[in-house]
Amino acid sequence: MPNILLTNSCNRRCPYCFALAQVQLGVCRAAWEMSEAELDTVLGYLDFRHDVVSLLGGEPTLHSRFAEIVSEVAARRFPIKVFTNGTTPHLRSIPASACDDELRLILNLNRPESYGRSAWGEIEENARHFGRRMSLSFNVYEPAFFWDHLRDLILRRNLMRRIRIGLAQPVHGMGNSCLPEEAIPDACARLVEMAVDLASDGIMLGLDCGFRGCAFTERQRGILLECGAELLFDCKPVLDIGPDLMVWRCFPFSATAGVRLLDFRSLREVAEHFDQVWAHAMTLGNTPNCRDCPHFGRVCRGGCLSRTVNQRQPPALS
């Protein structure tokens, strides 16, 4: 399931930003947005029966034709996910005709004190507007984190009772905030506390890629499943498609050399290309124990590849 970057403009500066390499282009150089023809080309690589169209940025709602793009993609029967910071009124410009069961909005929420009054007002208004179509996303990038504000917004605005949990990863050369390796087990224990606490309100967690299975104990994994958590210990080429139809393995690699989408016949070929490029690093894992682990390569990829590479030899920047 590839991510489509609609624009590199963003009105937020999250310390852990995964898209930093692209978003800084918008700061340092001219802002960029995907053209209609480029989007049409990308959709040609997808099949509505198997693929979800994930729209990201930057902040995707800042694309000048955001509402029209969502309408067009919906008309082609694709399920749509919009990953947004929720702080712009443009999100509510999605026409009612595109708001069916196949549209999902994932609002990434940081600590409340990081928002001004106006931005928080937009978050509240967007949450009220979309209700059950919207779920929250939360990124772990510091050892101590809290979730009462997530619960509060979900219950007050009747949002979908699921929170995507991302573990911030190093984007090469960008200096974004992320947890050091040794802090991850404690953060995972905290996530288990979070899952148990939120389960009492029927709210479940969904882990995004980049977690290691052994960062949790067996009992912690069991408790997470009892709390409805969706566990993922995988790391594979997600494929992020950005300016000039360049493709990167995933956001943490977006400062490295990408490839041109048009040089490949299918997204599967692109993924295979990145698998080849990083084949050796994929055999390592985040910890020295990974290679001898019976789960490594089957269910667990030993954490985020970007973290593995970063711990050894950072790749050359593009």
Partner 1 sequence: MITIEFDPRGVADAVIPPVQALGSLLDRCDEENIRDVVMRLPETPGEDLELVLRPLMNRPFRFSAWFRAQPSARLAELFISAGHRITIAATVIPYRSVLRSVMKSPAYASGMPWQVNLFLALPPPPPGVAEVLKGLAPRAETSITLGIAWNNLETGPSSITPPEEKEWVEVLLRMATWCTERGVTVHIACGLPLCMFSTEQLGRLALLKVRPPLASCTPGLVLTLDGRVRACPRLPASGWVAMPAGIGLRELTSQLVGPSELFAGFCGRAGEQSCRSLATGACGGGCRTHNALGWHAESGVMAFSPPDSAGRVC
When the beta carbons of 101 and 182 are compared against partner 1, the nearer one is 101
When the beta carbons of 236 and 295 are compared against partner 1, the nearer one is 295
CB of 153 to partner 1, least distance (A): 18
Does position 167 interact with partner 1 (CB under 8 A)? The reply is no
Does position 227 interact with partner 1 (CB under 8 A)? The reply is yes
When the beta carbons of 97 and 177 are compared against partner 1, the nearer one is 97
Does position 201 interact with partner 1 (CB under 8 A)? The reply is yes
Does position 36 interact with partner 1 (CB under 8 A)? The reply is no
Query: CB neighbours (10 Å) of residue 105?
Result: 25
CB of 277 to partner 1, least distance (A): 21
For the chain, the first-to-last Cα distance in angstroms comes to 24
Taking CB under 8 A as the binding criterion, the range among 8-16, 126-134, 135-143, 294-302 that sits at the site for partner 1 is 294-302
Binding-site member from 29, 50, 117, 265 for partner 1 (CB under 8 A): 50
Does position 170 interact with partner 1 (CB under 8 A)? The reply is no
Crossing angle between the packed helical segments 36-43 and 66-75, to the nearest 10 degrees: 30
Contact letters (x/-) for partner 1, 86-125, by CB under 8 A?
Answer: --------------xxx-----------------------
Instruction: DSSP letter for 203, please.
Output: -
List the structure tokens of 225: 């499943």
Q: Which residues pair with 80 in a beta bridge?
A: 53, 103
When the beta carbons of 66 and 216 are compared against partner 1, the nearer one is 216
- The closest alpha carbon to 119, from 12, 39, 206, belongs to 12
Q: How far apart are CA 245 and CA 38, in angstroms?
A: 7
Does position 236 interact with partner 1 (CB under 8 A)? The reply is no
Size of the site for partner 1 (CB under 8 A): 38
User: In one letter, which amino acid is 229?
Assistant: A
Binding-site member from 13, 111, 291, 298 for partner 1 (CB under 8 A): 298
CB of 216 to partner 1, least distance (A): 8
When the beta carbons of 220 and 311 are compared against partner 1, the nearer one is 220
Does position 209 interact with partner 1 (CB under 8 A)? The reply is no
Does position 185 interact with partner 1 (CB under 8 A)? The reply is no
When the beta carbons of 23 and 203 are compared against partner 1, the nearer one is 203
Taking CB under 8 A as the binding criterion, the range among 10-18, 178-186, 200-208, 264-272 that sits at the site for partner 1 is 200-208
When the beta carbons of 23 and 98 are compared against partner 1, the nearer one is 98
Site residues, partner 1 (CB under 8 A): 47-50, 77, 100-102, 161, 196, 199-204, 213, 216-231, 233, 295, 298-300
